[in-house]
Amino acid sequence: MLPHPIKKFADLFATLPSLGPRQATRLAFYLASRGKAEIAEFARALAALDQLQICKECFAHYENTPKLQKNTETTRLCEICSDPHREHNIIALVERETDRFSIEKSKKFRGRYLVIGEIARDGTLNTEQKLRLAHFKRLITERFGKAKEIILALNSTTLADLEADILLSELKTVTERITRLGRGMPTGGEIEFADEDTLGGALENRK
């Protein structure tokens, strides 16, 4: 019989991506063996995730620093969406927040983002994604009439092709141009794992 705290932890962590029940149980015992101080540190790190806010324009998580709080008290915008020096009518559409960070690291993009979330294999959008897209289209229309460019910064997989078709038809009414990352991304390559130069090159060669 598993001790109750171990079972509770394992049941919860087994619901996370890439952790099965057995691994989650092993992890619980492992953490328990690390001692009180470390357990408390893990607990604090976990609790701190709760402090993150979601940007109401790009749907990325951000940390509400005092500076940002002052700027965006009533609007709840991330550091990119609230930055007046970014080109707000050039938008990179990414699946994952980690893709956004990879693109930022390449320092080759001065526009902003929309985080759409990972799309199902059959290419359909879920309710949340439909809402994000509708919200985003409304925002663009209200602010610019049309965006200058929307870059589909998608992972280069078959999935991404499917996705691009759906997104193309959804987006073409709100932008002058739709581009995709150019050559240079390895086939089947994921944005998250591309090095900064490769990603920078793919951004510069978008078409």
Give the one residue of 10, 24, 28, 78 binding Zn ion; rule: CB under 5 A: 78
Instruction: Write the burial class of residue 128 (CB in 10 Å: 0-12 exposed, 13-18 middle, 19+ buried).
Output: exposed
Please give the structure tokens belonging to residue 95: 């699946």
Closer CB to Zn ion, residue 26 or residue 86?
Answer: 86
Give the one residue of 24, 55, 185, 202 binding Zn ion; rule: CB under 5 A: 55
- Rounded distance between C-alpha atoms, residue 9 and residue 28, angstroms: 6
Residue numbers 85-144 binding Zn ion by CB under 5 A? none
Closer CB to Zn ion, residue 68 or residue 178?
Answer: 68
**CB-side neighbour CA atoms (13 Å) of 201:** 9
- Rounded distance between C-alpha atoms, residue 24 and residue 86, angstroms: 42
Position 27: which residue type? L
Contact 170, 78 (CB under 8 A): no
* Interface segment toward Zn ion; rule CB under 5 A; list 9-17, 31-39, 56-64, 167-175: 56-64
Give the one residue of 10, 24, 28, 81 binding Zn ion; rule: CB under 5 A: 81
Give the one residue of 58, 90, 140, 171 binding Zn ion; rule: CB under 5 A: 58
State which H helix or E strand residue 121 sits in: none
Closer CB to Zn ion, residue 94 or residue 125?
Answer: 94
Q: Which residues bind Zn ion (CB under 5 A)?
A: 55, 57-58, 78, 81
